[in-house]
Structure 1
Amino acid sequence: MHDLAEVVARIERDERLPADPWLDVVPAPAPHTAAVAAFPGHVVVAADVDRPFVESFTDGQDLAAPLGPQFLGALEERLRLAAGSTDLVLLAAPVEGDPPTDLTPVPDSTHPRVVRARLHRSDVHAWSCGRGILTIGRGVAGRWEVAVEVDEDARNAGLGRALAAAARHLVPDGRPAWAQVASGNVASLRAFLAAGYVPMGAEVLLTPVASPVP
């Protein structure tokens, strides 16, 4: 495959990625970034490195190695980037019609979840239901990424699931909705699974090292 956008498009078309060859090394998804993604029987390293560098860590057929600490540490050092958490990646098909949850667009919101979305995504849209926030924006390789946050005193009542489900109605152009969930965040994972999202794989994103706070 030529780039990470092609990988995203194939997954959105429900095409299984090849097990042979199991490793793709493609260009970085954007300047000063990198990504390592693992899917069933297939791994993609999207970074400005050559294939021999990656293969020197895989021992031939070690599909787990690219998401392991040894390779990620070497990638950080080589690219002068910092690896984020290992996230589960989920995907949901679009749903026609208006969302069943009453939402209000909040384009000028300063909610921390919206601020974070604007830092990492483009074309960010945001909605509020009063006790929770939903954002949708274009993220890695142009995919439409969903994030939700529920007020602490409104949790454990199905609101996160409702917001995740609403996103499937709101992604522009009838595109599928992607979600990244930190592997330990089981509450969020349950909400997205209940809203019809399906696990696709796992990924680590690498971004510039944050400047020290003065």
Structure 2
Amino acid sequence: MAETLRDILEAAARGVFPPADGRTTVVPQPSDRNAGVLSFTAHSVVFTDEDPGWVYDTLRGLDCDALSATMNPRFLAALMDRTGRTAETIDAVLVGSPLPGEPPPALRLKEIEDAGHPRIVYARRRREDVRAWAAEGGVLVVGRGVAGRLEVSVEVAQDVRHRGLGRLLVTAARHLVTEPLWAQVAPGNARSVRAFQAAGYRPVGAELLLSAMPRSAGCSGSRS
């Protein structure tokens, strides 16, 4: 089994997942910014600097299916109390392979140089090395998030929705990078889930991040 969250994520991007054995792996959190739970098929990864023994003891104390224990509200509440962190939404996690050298979609993008742009300011609370591009009616943002993985998010103006712009933006993102590109989408945001899947992103699991930010900053819903 891989020893770090970064190892686990890199393997998942290649289609190599932890064994579907119903067990939980505990690894150190990759930075002070992020702790949380990543759930694959029949295997969970808890990334935290808390005592692994406490994690396993708490999970054993739950009266629930072991396959879903790490996403059980009682465990998550205990983990938040233990760490003093706040919870964000449980997101679907998808990954897309880079498409360098292939013809990009017919979409005119202009990089946003203004560091004070609201979407860039928002992204920098969660990610490093943030870059953003504007298209007519939308914004595309890429930056390094959990364990240094490259993450993408988009914003589409209300008056141009239902025209496929979100799909074009997240497809364009794959042409701008040379490594796997990750996305976190609230499962209830079916429109975004469909857009990412139509753009070739593959669902790999579910994730909940525990944020050290104040609740007013951390409770903002999906990161897409």
Identify whether the pair has TM-score above 0.5, normalized to the shorter chain: yes
SS in 1 for 2:58: coil
Runs of 5+ unmatched residues, structure 1: none
Which residues in structure 2 correspond to 1:54-203 (within 5 Å)? 54-59=55-60, 62-97=66-101, 99-100=104-105, 101-108=107-114, 110-171=116-177, 174-203=178-207
Give the conservation status (yes or no) of the 8 Å contact 1:35–1:206.
yes
**Alpha-carbon distance change, 51 to 165 in structure 1, aligned in 2, over 3 angstroms:** same
**TM-superposed deviation, 1:57:** 3.5
Aligned partners of 1:193, 1:212: CA distance in 2, in Å? 31
Alignment-mate amino acid for residue 111 of structure 2: P
Q: Is the 8 A contact 1:80 1:209 kept in 2?
A: no
The DSSP-based 3-state class of the residue aligned with 2:154 is strand
- Partners of 2:95 and 2:216 lie apart in 1 by 35
Q: Paired residue for 2:41?
A: 40
Residue 67 of structure 1 deviates from its aligned partner by 1.1
Q: How much does 1:16 deviate?
A: 2.4
Instruction: Report the Cα distance in structure 2 between the residues aligned to 1:74 and 1:88, rounded to whole angstroms.
Output: 22
**Alignment-mate amino acid for residue 16 of structure 2:** E
CA deviation after TM superposition for structure 1 residue 20, in Å: 4.0
What RMSD in Å do the two structures reach over aligned CA positions?
Answer: 1.9
What are the Cα deviations for residues 148-207 of structure 1, in whole angstroms up to 9, with x where unaligned?
000110100000000010010112xx1011100012111111111111111100000001
1: CA distance between counterparts of 2:51 and 2:175?
40
- Whether the 8 Å CA contact 2:25–2:44 is kept in 1: the answer is yes
Letter paired with 2:138? G
What is the count of residue pairs matched by the alignment? 211
Counterpart of 1:125, as a letter, is R
Amino acid at match of 1:72: L
CA distance in 2, matches of 1:106, 1:85: 28
Q: Secondary structure at the match of 2:77?
A: helix
The residue matched to 2:16 in structure 1 has which SS?
coil
How high is the sequence identity, in percent, across the aligned residues? Answer: 46
Cα distance in 2 between the residues matched to 1:32 and 1:93: 26
How far the C-alpha of 1:121 sits from its partner, in A, is: 0.4
Amino acid at match of 2:23: W
Letter of the 1:168 counterpart: R
User: What secondary structure is seen at the aligned counterpart in 2 of 1:74?
Assistant: helix
Displacement of 1:68 in angstroms is 1.4
Q: What is the distance in 1 between the residues matched to 2:142 and 2:201?
A: 15
2:86–2:215 CA contact under 8 A, matched in 1: no
SS at match of 1:63: helix
> Which TM-score applies when normalising by structure 2?
0.88
Q: Deviations over 1:21-70 (max 9, x none)?
A: 73110001211531100011210000112222222233496021111110
Residue 12 of structure 1 aligns to which amino acid in structure 2?
A
Q: Offset at 1:109?
A: 5.2
Equivalent residue letter for 1:108? D
Would you say the 8 A contact 1:135–1:146 is kept in 2? yes
